[in-house]
Chains A and B, each alone.
Chain A
Amino acid sequence: MPGTLIYAEVQKGEIKKGAFEITSKAKEFGGDVSVCIIGKGVEAIAPQLAKYGADKIYVVDGPEFENYVTETFVQALTQVAQQLQPSVILASASAQGKDLMPAVAARLKVGAVSDCVEIKKEGDKIIAKRPLYAGKAYAVVEAVGTPQVISVRPNALGFKEIAGAGAVEKAAVSIDAGKVKVAVKEVVIAASTEPDQTEAEIIVSGGRGMKGPENYKMLEDLAKLFGPTATTGASRAAVDAGWRDHAFQVGQTGKTVSPNLYIAAGISGAIQHMAGMGTSKVIVAINKDPEAPIFTKADYGVVDDLFNVIPALIEEVKKIKG
């Protein structure tokens, strides 16, 4: 029976949470749930997927899969897909998923749906909801080819424990090394343990009102107090001024984020910024300009100088955290 094939991404030796999300969702939909996990030394962690609904886990393990190289991973996943002939292929819309899935889809000669925030089953088909214009609009779409190739935004579905048969087997994959043209020279991963903005639960973000790069330290301090699921962000104005690296940028030409708490310090709330963080559960705006548009969207607004509010807030959070 044609079922679902899931690509489980591994980062720093761990299966990413996004893989559990899509696996448990696929199990809910019914049918066989197969998961393909690719990496070096991943066989040992593969059985973890059973708890979240994996019936079969296909392991592609070897030294050539230590670093993510598009062509190598495309070959591996495409071969598994060709053997299983699934009706749906799901992956997480992480940076890697966004690179991998369109190439896999093109090789299978089908379209792909990127970065969905909701998926549901209608008859034999998956219908997906995805943001356009960084969240200024949403579209409900259907991929008409087979398989349906769909990537799902991390954290959008949530995950739950739902047992699958969990049979682990080695996938029959052979990589044509001659076709792997890209050679990895260096991989640099920051030592920071902060989550990516797209996966963070709390983001403390600063804009033009921060006045300079040196002042982000206090936002970092506040984020640290919130714990390991918190990080910092920045507006386009701050990034364009060179105060923060563009990896921090939230908005239409940066990251689209959806944390539980978004604290905007010295951010006026331009349309392109609001598009990127408008789905945050709780928005706090701190700005000395009472006319700043962000106050029309914020759940809590503080009209005051952020250079007084943030240090005071740090002290208050310390008190609460004891």
Chain B
Amino acid sequence: MNTIVCLKQVPDTETLIKIAGTTIAAEGIKWVINPYDEFAVEEAIRQKEKMGAGAVTIVSLGPDRAIESIRTALAMGADNAVHINDSGFYDKADPYATAAVLAAAIKGLDFNAIFLGKQAIDDDSGQVPAMLGEMLGIPAVTQVIKFEVAADKSKATVTREIEGGHMVVEVPLPAVFSAQKGLNEPRYASLPGIMKAKKKPVDVKNAAGLGVSDGPMIVIKEMSLPPARQAGKIITGDDAKVKAAALAKALHEEVKII
């Protein structure tokens, strides 16, 4: 089973965001694989291991720094990678442009499935999986929490999360699958894995070379931080009962929520 994993490098969830014009300040950011893409990498590797054959190809759009996350995925067990190293394109790319350049890089590759996270935790758009499916002309199944492929690789049976429950669907391959938390538990890269990753092939491309010139269709006009929250009142009292009574009273009388 040959799979492709689209991967984005994003700031770690513990990052405090600072604004710089219409983007964020780059200082002090720890860059990591988008957590939802980690599930995608893990699932692709598991499918390869289960089938006992095939290759996992990482495709990532990002600047120079993205190579570290690509190497991490290779260290986890992916086999090779395409790095669309194009900061000019990347800096302005909206989900449509991102999907277009990923689709261009993927076209011509031999694959049964594409995995990627259900959204990147930086811009939180969650659009690339569905758009990628459209652009490649194959089905996209989003929010996947369970994935099983038929022995002949002709189809997959997947469980996807829906509001208030889940849905089981059957889909012919190839198809795009977006990973939701719960799909699996991503592994850590092992030391031998990290050593091997250094020698795995990474094909470097750019948007123009892939024939993609789509400008962004979403333009950021302004960025801001949310208003800072102030510490409120600490409720005091002799014991938990007294405090609970004071809290209930405040919620009832001051903010009138209960």
- Indicate whether A66 reaches chain B with its CB closer than 8 angstroms: no
**Is chain B's binding surface mostly helix, strand, loop or mixed?**
mixed
Chain B residues lying within 8 Å of A316, measured Cβ to Cβ, are 244-245, 247-249
Check A320–B170 contact: CB distance below 8 A: no
Give the segment of B40-48, B49-57, B121-129 that binds chain A. B121-129
- Indicate whether B165 reaches chain A with its CB closer than 8 angstroms: yes
**Is chain A's binding surface mostly helix, strand, loop or mixed?**
mixed
Write the nearest CB–CB distance from A256 to chain B, whole angstroms.
8
Cα A105 to Cα B223 with chains together (Å): 24
In B156-200, the 8 Å CB interface with A consists of 157, 161-172, 175, 180-182
Cα A313 to Cα B242 with chains together (Å): 10
- Indicate whether B239 reaches chain A with its CB closer than 8 angstroms: yes
Check B133–A103 contact: CB distance below 8 A: yes
In A103-158, the 8 Å CB interface with B consists of 103, 105-107, 110-115, 127, 130-145
Check B13–A272 contact: CB distance below 8 A: yes
Check A284–B251 contact: CB distance below 8 A: yes
Chain A residues lying within 8 Å of B151, measured Cβ to Cβ, are none
Partner of A252, one of B121, B162, B169: B121
In A291-319, the 8 Å CB interface with B consists of 295-305, 308-310, 312-313, 315-317, 319
Chain B residues lying within 8 Å of A297, measured Cβ to Cβ, are 229, 231
- Indicate whether B241 reaches chain A with its CB closer than 8 angstroms: yes
Check A184–B143 contact: CB distance below 8 A: no
Give the segment of B1-9, B69-77, B106-114, B211-219 that binds chain A. B211-219
Hey, which bits of chain B sit against chain A, CB under 8 A?
A: 11, 13-17, 19, 22, 24, 35-36, 94-97, 99, 121-131, 133-135, 139-143, 157, 161-172, 175, 180-182, 216-226, 229, 231-235, 239-241, 243-245, 247-252, 255, 257-258
- Indicate whether A243 reaches chain B with its CB closer than 8 angstroms: no
CB-nearest residue of chain B to A314: B244
Cα A202 to Cα B126 with chains together (Å): 26
- Indicate whether A17 reaches chain B with its CB closer than 8 angstroms: no
Check B240–A304 contact: CB distance below 8 A: yes
| Given A278-B229, A282-B257, A301-B235, 15 more pairs with CB closer than 8 A | A127-B221, A134-B124, A137-B224, A142-B219, A182-B139, A187-B166, A189-B162, A202-B257, A249-B181, A251-B13, A256-B124, A272-B13, A295-B234, A296-B229, A302-B240
